[in-house]
Amino acid sequence: MKRFWLLFSQTVTVLLAAYFVVGTLKPEWLGHQVVHNAALSLMEAPASATGVAPAGSFRLAAQKSSAAVVSINTSKAASNKQHGNDPWFKFFFGDQGNEPQVGLGSGVIVSASGYILTNNHVVESADEIEVVLNDSRKARAKVIGTDPDSDLAVLKIELDRLPVIVLGNSESLQVGDQVLAIGNPFGVGQTVTGGIVSALGRNQLGINTFENFIQTDAAINPGNSGGALVDTNGNLMGINTAIYSRSGGSMGIGFAIPVATAKLVMEGIVKDGQVTRGWIGVEPNELSPELAETFGVKAKEGVIITGVLQNGPAAKSGIRPGDVIIRVADKPVTNVTELLSSVAALKPGTASKFSVLRREEKVELNVTPGVRPKPQRPAQ
């Protein structure tokens, strides 16, 4: 019996050793190829294959939004100047105005039907506009409408299977929130930069008539204009518009138009072909001690009116030079920018309440705004 158990244990040991050798060197003989390969592929699969980005990465936000950000190439025919064919003019000043002008910017696809948001200054006066998608498709774009007061424009292209960005809630942004700027700076190709929201509600910069900028330190350079400012979920928060720079490149101070403003402008342009804003016909100024003394007012805050257009909406409603407007439709105003924005938001033809300080007396007036005139284009 003892001899039998010895023989049995030796046999089992040899069989186990053979199984181990075959399983290691020739696993396919045992039918384990599929299991082995599946386990190996799972171990070696990169994070992107499993849909999980490394900690701290903005990969998913960039992937979600970048497909809807486009490059915009514009061209403008050479102008025929008065002395263009004068040989003496060419001799002294060179051959001017013979080359077409080209421009570069960015845009954001906001509709599957082909609507694109960009800056007005990107497409202004352009004779031809070409849009290049991130997947390298190209299309000629048509200008649906522009709004120089906010420096926004709406284009349209005719392509199918268009990627569309998700519109976020720019009013939920707070200083310190992380954001990404996406565009085509200097024509090098689509680029994603990161930073934070540095400030909100920036105005009085002299960039646009109506200013309410998001300030960010995400690098924005020439060519980024009209591109996307997105949050860490890849949702559109603003349209990149301008930078503060002494060198022409990014110095960590960039400005974007909030998507809430851009959405209103786009809806007005698509629906009516233009943006309709309220207007009352006054010349407003910041309240200063000198102006307060000149007009004999005791107000400490508000916007002083130094001129009123004859027969304009304000004049017809009783507003006079020297009045200090402190509230519009129950919303306080403390500077000219806030007054312009508050009046522009009013519905033309519908009376709104204005609170005015006239010398030492508070006056409530019902003002019916008209339609804000279009800005005059400079002579070419």
Q: Within a 10 A sphere around the Cβ of 10, how many other Cβ atoms?
A: 10
For the beta sheet containing 152-156, the strands, ordered from the edge strand earlier in sequence to the opposite edge, are 138-140, 128-132, 69-76, 101-109, 115-118, 152-156, 142-147
pLDDT at 27: 58
- Three-state SS for 260? helix
Catalytic residues, which ones? Answer: 121, 151, 225
Exposure class string for 249-284: b at 16+ Cβ within 10 A, else e: ebeebbbbbbbbbbebbbebbeeeeebebbbbbbeb
Residue 126 scores a pLDDT above 70: yes
Q: Which residue is listed with tokens 């001799």?
A: 91
- Within the chain, residue ranges assigned H as helices are 2-25, 33-44, 59-66, 87-93, 120-123, 259-272, 289-295, 313-317, 336-344
Domains and CATH numbers, the chain: 67-156 (2.40.10.10), 170-272 (2.40.10.10), 278-371 (2.30.42.10)
Residue 337 scores a pLDDT above 70: yes
Average pLDDT over residues 256-279: 89
43 falls in which pLDDT band (50, 70, 90)? very low
Distance, CA of 144 to CA of 376 (rounded, Å) = 19
Listing DSSP states for 219-236 in one string gives ---TT-TT-EEE-TTS-E
Average pLDDT over residues 183-189: 87
Under 8 Å between Cβ of 325 and 305: yes
Q: Which residue is listed with tokens 């948001």?
A: 117
Rounded to 5 degrees, φ, ψ at 158 are -110, 90
pLDDT at 220: 87
Segment 6-26, tens digit of pLDDT: 666 667 676 666 666 556 555
The tokens for 189 are 């190709």
Distance, CA of 373 to CA of 55 (rounded, Å) = 52
pLDDT at 35: 38
For residue 316, with 0-12 CB atoms within 10 Å meaning exposed, 13-18 middle and 19 or more buried, which class applies? middle
How do strand 278-279 and strand 236-243 relate by DSSP bridges? unpaired
pLDDT at 92: 46
Sequence-distant (6+) residues with CB within 8 A of 267 are none
What pTM does this model have? Answer: 0.70
The tokens for 39 are 């386990």
Q: Which residue is listed with tokens 């263009």?
A: 84
